[in-house]
């Protein structure tokens, strides 16, 4: 797979200086994507250097994959080519922040945690509480399209990313949007970067709208149910009420058990105004006995003044009674973080829970969830596979199969179950994305011609829009040098 | 226009769906902007299939197509700059589905914004984007321009509420992008097409989110003796991270014109008022209203009134939303600008607008979405006075230039259209235009859809030749 251009080393060193290019096999191996190791790692220090590298790569037809903290590089299909890893972590400065405008512009390699530490000084934050929180960069988070439990209240990055600067496949430093919160000047290219896995452009800078951090004195709420129907009924009641909780997620018994038994390696993250200074960098506390490992739970968080907190307490208690919760608990600032940290880190916790975890992102309307939950469990049980999942209020489900071991037989078995899941979600009018799986399983799910099956990455046969996505990819990256094959796997 | 083409369109759609006589076309040569452009033919499709067949026929004759909703746009987006076929969505005005449980609606592009809210209201839901023209503008037009409105401060603009689109591409191909759930795998094509001003595809069906009506609303009217104090109040509200649902400013000159006409209760002797709305739980609204009142008082508000009931609230909003109509009483025509600045720059921007007005000899009024820094200076002019009109355009361009200088953008919600295409180089480099052109050409390779928009004519797409007779600015109507 290593396609070493004879020009590679001198060209990269001429652009970056020798100390910013890595060839050492051990170093390169840490940049592997689905077991494919790049020939070199380039660590640019500026957007201009990125553009130079891209121009060189376009000329030499070398494949590039940009990366940040490399926590989510496993998302996507195996790349068809991969010559240079572009380590963007040196572009890690906050370029512009005016607290009075609630807007911020920062280099793509800026860790979210670092950025939020600055924002918290002004009682603001960026509501991207994503897994691997303490390492994740803003660029990697945007490119991977990973969401946060807070999307319930604040929306996804699509709702607060207001501009970007990026390098196109022809090596042009380009931008869209701006630093104002309302703007319709030109095409919204920055939205296309969300979830693009580095296949359209190399992001160099991102502009966000920031938000007032919720008040300290927030509360958590957990209600337990013997059946999914009960938890979903409570979720429906909250959704139809005037309440606007920050999060409300339904946790399956399988995930509840993992949450109870395992403490993720992640640290606690400050979320609320006033917490920042004494942010607790220790690992998360064990979850309390208010959490029932073998039941369905609805977990919510809310914030506000004392009157508002009282209102939530009253209404939640009433709704939980009406939906026949077996128990309910209100969490305070000492107990809430143990639940929030786990919900935030769900993906990393699931990956740690099995040697061969596969995780799907399923998107289906909330009204289909009762039937879909039943179908998903039936598929997993029939295949004798442990499973765990969380469903966000808006309809996004992170569903994991947890096989006890990784081997060829397990791969075949998993591929069958995966296909059934895709078909079930599709029948419910939903969409499936395979987020995390072994390279072997990803390949097994591809058709014999090497193209991904319907819906596994982007449903190349079940949707009418992939041809438009191809046109877009060609417009941004005419030489197909950005992460080829990783996304839109029907592309060559 | 080629009479053979007229006959073919009549054969395709029926004679009652095609207009081609000059006196009929006159009605379609203008929109809410100061621009003008006359189509050669106006057609009224009934269905997506009609739109697709129109696109195929137009492609066969190599004539451009321009989509149009109610024609309330303010940047010339729905004008036939280079002539051709104007496709008016007036008859595709059905609400196809209200999905109450999932809070979604599927609508045809010709549905009037307010009609959707009216249909959803009995279920406690509404469509959040609320441009001032909401009682006449269409959702298709809102999608094309990514329209805003006063309440987008808290709830976001059109793009934040659209989850899927059905599109017709220039060759007539029908494609669906996005999904009803809104979390579609792949590139966010919906996000690209919303706000693309009809330059990439024709939108024939729209899936939108419906929002839940808040439990409680409080509407405050803060009255100031100085514009600077009002502007400082807005900056401070933002800086203190209070997020009202809407925060609108009317300066004294504008509000007097409005009050004369609408009698909304704006005090005639004030220098500026802020119309601020907070929406949420009853408990939250009370706290927010108190906090906002404190900020207003800290900046020397003469008085902060709270609307006592819905009637009073509606009257205040009527004053705001019909302000542009009220100004029609003062001059034969007015030019509503749309610039956006970082919110902290509001006081200095308003001072600069006054200076520019003085310099060019105009009284420039301001009635705008202060909370998100979206300025709407209004220049009153007489279109029969060509020299004055040219001066008005120069003053306007200078204001927009200033917005860019302080870190803002050319347009917050009206779109680039014809109005600002030549100002685009203030913000975008050749490299930026190159990518825009590539993406444009990926969907609309022959520039047959809405040609002459967004791109400066010198950096246009395909072969755009603007006919001299239709490119002239709007004259006395």
Residue A94's DSSP bridge partners are: A106
The answer to whether B48 and B166 have CB atoms below 8 angstroms apart is yes
Evaluate whether residue A331 is within a structural domain: yes
Query: What is the rounded distance in angstroms from the CA atom of residue A154 to the CA atom of residue A147?
Result: 11
Evaluate whether residue A262 is within a structural domain: yes
Query: What is the rounded distance in angstroms from the CA atom of residue B365 to the CA atom of residue A231?
Result: 54
The answer to whether A198 and A145 have CB atoms below 8 angstroms apart is no
SS (H, E, C) B358-421: HHHCCCEEEEEEHHHCEECEEEEECCCCHHHHHHHHHHHHHHHHHHHHCCCECCCCCCCCCCCH
Question: What does the pLDDT read at residue A448?
Answer: 46
A199 and A234 belong to one structural domain: no
Question: What does the pLDDT read at residue B239?
Answer: 84
The answer to whether B104 and B445 have CB atoms below 8 angstroms apart is no
- Residue B101 with chain A: CB contacts under 8 Å: 236, 366-367
B456 touching A, CB under 8 A? no
Residues 432-471 of A with CB under 8 A from B: 432-433, 455, 457-459, 463-469, 471
Interface mutation vs chain A, best among B124, B162, B188, B215, most A CBs within 10 Å: B188
A123 touching B, CB under 8 A? yes
Which of A254-268, B102-116, B171-185: highest mean pLDDT?
B102-116
Given a cut of 80, whether residue B473 has pLDDT beyond it is no
Q: What average pLDDT does this structure show over B316-328?
A: 85
Domain CATH for A412: 3.30.70.1130
A312 and A366 belong to one structural domain: no
- Cβ of B436 within 8 Å of Cβ of A186? The answer is yes
Question: What does the pLDDT read at residue B474?
Answer: 40
- Cβ of B152 within 8 Å of Cβ of A367? The answer is no
Residue A98's closest CA among B232, B228, B239? B239
B192 touching A, CB under 8 A? yes
- Cβ of B284 within 8 Å of Cβ of A155? The answer is no
Q: Regarding beta strands B246-251 and B174-178, do their DSSP bridges make them parallel or antiparallel, or are they unpaired? A: unpaired
- Residue A474 with chain B: CB contacts under 8 Å: 442
Query: What is the rounded distance in angstroms from the CA atom of residue B81 to the CA atom of residue B333?
Result: 21
Residue in chain A closest to B186 (alpha carbons) equals A458
Q: What is the per-residue pLDDT across B433-447, written as a single tens digit (0 to 9) for each?
A: 999 999 999 999 999
Tell me the whole-structure pTM to 2 decimals: 0.95
Query: What is the rounded distance in angstroms from the CA atom of residue B150 to the CA atom of residue B248?
Result: 7
Shortest distance between the Cα of B421 and any Cα of chain A, in A, equals 10
Residue in chain A closest to B430 (alpha carbons) equals A174
A247 and A339 belong to one structural domain: yes
Q: Among partner residues A176, A363, A478, which is closest to B183 by beta-carbon distance?
A: A363
B74 touching A, CB under 8 A? no
Percent of chain A with pLDDT over 90: 72
Residue B43's DSSP bridge partners are: B18, B87
A355 touching B, CB under 8 A? no
A209 and A304 belong to one structural domain: no
| Boundaries of domain holding A377 | 354-445
- Cβ of B416 within 8 Å of Cβ of A186? The answer is yes
A54 and A199 belong to one structural domain: yes
Given a cut of 80, whether residue A45 has pLDDT beyond it is yes
A47 and A147 belong to one structural domain: yes
- Cβ of B369 within 8 Å of Cβ of A182? The answer is yes
- Residue B160 with chain A: CB contacts under 8 Å: 155, 158-159
Q: Regarding beta strands B162-168 and B202-209, do their DSSP bridges make them parallel or antiparallel, or are they unpaired? A: antiparallel
Please tell me chain B's helix, strand, coil percentages from 3-state DSSP, rounded to the nearest 5.
40, 20, 40
Given a cut of 90, whether residue A464 has pLDDT beyond it is no
Is the ipTM higher than 0.85? The answer is: yes
Q: Among partner residues A184, A366, A459, which is closest to B102 by beta-carbon distance?
A: A366
Evaluate whether residue A32 is within a structural domain: yes
Q: What is the per-residue pLDDT across A304-359, written as a single tens digit (0 to 9) for each?
A: 889 999 999 999 999 999 999 999 999 987 888 888 889 999 999 999 999 999 99
- Cβ of A469 within 8 Å of Cβ of B186? The answer is yes
Domain CATH for A312: 3.30.70.3450
Interface mutation vs chain B, best among A160, A176, A185, most B CBs within 10 Å: A185
Query: What is the rounded distance in angstroms from the CA atom of residue B363 to the CA atom of residue B357?
Result: 6
A158 touching B, CB under 8 A? yes
Question: What does the pLDDT read at residue A462?
Answer: 64
Q: Token digits for A179?
A: 């630093």
The answer to whether B15 and B6 have CB atoms below 8 angstroms apart is no
Q: What average pLDDT does this structure show over A430-435?
A: 89
Single out the residue in A347, A376, A394 at which a domain terminates. Answer: A347
Q: What is the per-residue pLDDT across B221-263, written as a single tens digit (0 to 9) for each?
A: 999 999 999 999 999 998 887 889 999 999 999 999 889 888 8
Torsion angle of the four alpha carbons A449, A453, A456, A461, in this order, in degrees rounded to the nearest 10? 120
Report the mean per-residue pLDDT for chain B. Answer: 93
- Residue B177 with chain A: CB contacts under 8 Å: 465, 468
Question: What does the pLDDT read at residue A237?
Answer: 96
A70 and A149 belong to one structural domain: yes
- Cβ of B195 within 8 Å of Cβ of A187? The answer is yes
A327 and A309 belong to one structural domain: yes
Q: ∠ at Cα B388 (B387, B394), nearest 5°?
A: 95
- Residue B245 with chain A: CB contacts under 8 Å: none
A196 and A66 belong to one structural domain: yes
B146 touching A, CB under 8 A? yes
A337 and A257 belong to one structural domain: yes
Question: What does the pLDDT read at residue B393?
Answer: 93
Q: What is the per-residue pLDDT across B131-169, written as a single tens digit (0 to 9) for each?
A: 999 999 999 999 999 999 999 999 999 999 999 999 999
Evaluate whether residue A202 is within a structural domain: yes
- Residue A183 with chain B: CB contacts under 8 Å: 340, 409, 411-412
Single out the residue in A305, A332, A347 at which a domain terminates. Answer: A347
DSSP 8-class letter at B334:
E
Question: What does the pLDDT read at residue B324?
Answer: 80
Question: How many A-B residue pairs are in contact by the CB < 8 A criterion?
Answer: 246
Report the mean per-residue pLDDT for chain A. Answer: 90
Residue B278's DSSP bridge partners are: B218
- Cβ of A488 within 8 Å of Cβ of B186? The answer is yes
Evaluate whether residue A451 is within a structural domain: no
- Cβ of A174 within 8 Å of Cβ of B435? The answer is yes
Q: What average pLDDT does this structure show over B419-431?
A: 96
Question: What does the pLDDT read at residue A1?
Answer: 38
A180 touching B, CB under 8 A? yes
Residues 290-319 of A with CB under 8 A from B: 304-305, 307-308, 310-311
**Structural domains in chain A (count):** 3
Evaluate whether residue A297 is within a structural domain: yes
CB atoms within 10 A of CB A162: 23
Domains of chain B plus CATH, in order, are 1-213+428-477 (3.30.465.10), 216-325 (3.30.70.2190), 331-405 (3.30.70.2740)
- Cβ of A192 within 8 Å of Cβ of B340? The answer is no
A87 and A120 belong to one structural domain: yes
Question: What does the pLDDT read at residue A282?
Answer: 64
A70 and A42 belong to one structural domain: yes
Query: What is the rounded distance in angstroms from the CA atom of residue A113 to the CA atom of residue A141?
Result: 12
Domain CATH for A470: 3.30.465.10
Residues 326-345 of B with CB under 8 A from A: 340-344
């Amino acid at each position: 797979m290593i396609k070493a251009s004879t020009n590679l080393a001198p060209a990269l060193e001429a652009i970056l200086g020798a100390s910013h290019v890595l060839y050492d096999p051990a170093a390169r191996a840490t940049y592997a994507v689905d077991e494919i190791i790049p020939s070199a790692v380039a660590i640019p220090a500026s957007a201009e250097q990125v553009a130079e590298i891209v121009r060189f790569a376009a000329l030499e037809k070398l494949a590039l994959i940009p990366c940040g903290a490399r926590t989510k590089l496993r998302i996507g299909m195996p790349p068809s080519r991969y010559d240079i890893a572009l380590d963007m972590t040196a572009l890690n400065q906050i370029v512009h922040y005016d607290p009075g405008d609630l807007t911020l512009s920062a280099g793509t390699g800026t860790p979210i945690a670092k950025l939020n530490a600055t924002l918290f000084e002004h009682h603001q934050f960026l509501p991207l509480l994503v897994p691997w929180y303490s390492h994740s960069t803003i660029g990697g988070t945007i490119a991977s399209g990973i969401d946060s439990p807070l999307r319930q209240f604040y929306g996804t990055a699509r709702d607060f990313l207001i501009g970007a600067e990026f390098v196109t496949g022809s090596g042009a430093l380009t931008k869209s949007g701006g630093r104002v919160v309302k703007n319709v000047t030109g095409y919204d290219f920055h939205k296309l970067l969300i979830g693009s896995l580095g296949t359209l452009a190399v992001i160099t800078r991102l502009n966000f709208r920031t938000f007032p951090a919720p008040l300290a004195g927030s509360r958590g709420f957990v209600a337990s149910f013997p059946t999914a129907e009960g938890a979903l009924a409570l979720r429906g009641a909250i959704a139809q009420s005037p309440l606007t909780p920050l999060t409300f997620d339904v946790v399956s018994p399988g995930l509840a058990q993992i949450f109870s038994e395992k403490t993720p390696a992640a640290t606690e993250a400050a979320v609320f105004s006033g917490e920042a200074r004494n942010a607790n960098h220790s690992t998360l506390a064990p979850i309390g006995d208010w959490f029932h490992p073998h039941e369905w739970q609805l977990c919510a968080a809310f914030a506000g003044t004392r009157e508002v907190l009282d209102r939530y307490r009253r209404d939640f208690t009433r709704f939980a009674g009406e939906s026949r919760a077996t128990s309910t608990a209100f969490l305070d600032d000492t107990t809430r973080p143990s639940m929030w940290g786990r919900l935030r880190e769900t993906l990393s916790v699931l990956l740690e829970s099995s040697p061969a975890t596969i995780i799907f992102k399923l998107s289906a309307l909330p009204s289909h969830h009762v039937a879909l939950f039943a179908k998903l469990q039936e598929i997993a049980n029939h295949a004798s596979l442990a499973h765990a999942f969380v469903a966000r209020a808006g309809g996004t489900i992170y569903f994991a199969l947890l096989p006890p071991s990784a081997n060829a037989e397990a791969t075949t078995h998993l591929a069958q179950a995966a296909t059934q899941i895709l078909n079930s979600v599709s029948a419910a009018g939903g969409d499936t994305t395979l987020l995390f799986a072994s390279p072997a399983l990803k390949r097994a799910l591809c058709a014999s011609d090497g193209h991904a099956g319907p819906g596994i990455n982007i449903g190349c046969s079940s949707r009418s829009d992939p041809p438009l996505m191809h046109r877009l990819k060609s417009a941004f990256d005419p030489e197909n040098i950005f992460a080829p094959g990783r996304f839109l796997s029907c592309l060559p | 226009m080629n009479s053979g083409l007229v006959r073919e369109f009549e054969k395709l759609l029926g004679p009652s769906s095609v207009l081609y006589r000059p006196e009929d076309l006159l009605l379609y040569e203008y929109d809410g902007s100061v621009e003008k452009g006359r189509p050669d033919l106006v057609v009224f499709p009934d269905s997506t299939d009609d739109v697709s067949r129109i696109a195929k026929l137009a492609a066969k004759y190599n004539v451009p197509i321009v989509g149009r909703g109610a024609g309330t746009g303010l940047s010339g987006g729905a004008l036939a700059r280079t002539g051709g076929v104007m496709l008016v969505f007036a008859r595709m005005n059905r609400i196809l589905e209200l999905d109450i449980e999932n809070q979604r609606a599927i609508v045809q592009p010709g549905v009037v914004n307010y009609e959707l809210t009216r249909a959803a209201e009995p279920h406690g839901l509404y469509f959040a984007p609320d441009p001032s023209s909401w009682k006449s503008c269409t959702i298709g037009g809102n999608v094309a321009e990514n329209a805003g409105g006063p309440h987008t401060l808290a709830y976001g603009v059109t793009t934040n509420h659209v989850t899927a689109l059905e599109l017709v591409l220039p060759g007539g191909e029908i494609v669906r992008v996005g999904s009803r759930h809104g979390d579609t795998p792949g590139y966010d094509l919906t996000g690209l097409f919303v706000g693309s001003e009809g330059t990439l595809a024709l939108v024939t069906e729209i899936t939108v989110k419906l929002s839940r009506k808040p439990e409680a609303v409080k509407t405050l009217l803060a009255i100031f003796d100085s514009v600077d104090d009002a502007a400082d109040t807005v900056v401070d509200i933002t800086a203190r991270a209070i997020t009202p649902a809407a925060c609108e400013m009317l300066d004294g000159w504008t509000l007097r014109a409005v009050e004369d006409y609408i009698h909304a209760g704006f005090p005639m002797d004030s220098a500026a008022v802020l119309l601020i709305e907070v929406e949420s739980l009853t408990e939250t609204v009370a706290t927010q209203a108190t906090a906002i009142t404190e900020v207003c008082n800290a900046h020397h508000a003469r008085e902060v009134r709270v609307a006592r009931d819905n009637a009073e609230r509606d009257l205040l909003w009527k004053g705001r939303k019909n302000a542009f109509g009220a100004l029609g009483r003062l001059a034969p025509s007015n030019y509503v600008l749309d610039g956006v600045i970082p919110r902290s720059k509001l006081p200095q921007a308003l001072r600069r607008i006054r200076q520019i007005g003085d310099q060019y000899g105009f009284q420039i009024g301001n009635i705008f979405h202060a909370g998100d820094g979206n300025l709407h200076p209004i220049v009153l002019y007489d279109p029969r006075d060509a020299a004055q009109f040219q001066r008005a355009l120069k003053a306007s361009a200078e204001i927009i230039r200033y917005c860019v200088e302080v870190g803002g953008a050319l347009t917050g919600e009206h779109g680039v259209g014809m109005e600002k295409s030549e100002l685009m180089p203030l913000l975008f480099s050749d490299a930026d235009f190159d990518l825009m052109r590539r993406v444009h050409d990926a969907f609309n390779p022959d520039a047959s859809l809405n040609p002459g928009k967004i791109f400066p004519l010198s950096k246009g797409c395909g072969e755009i030749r603007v006919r001299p007779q239709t490119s002239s600015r709007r004259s006395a109507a």
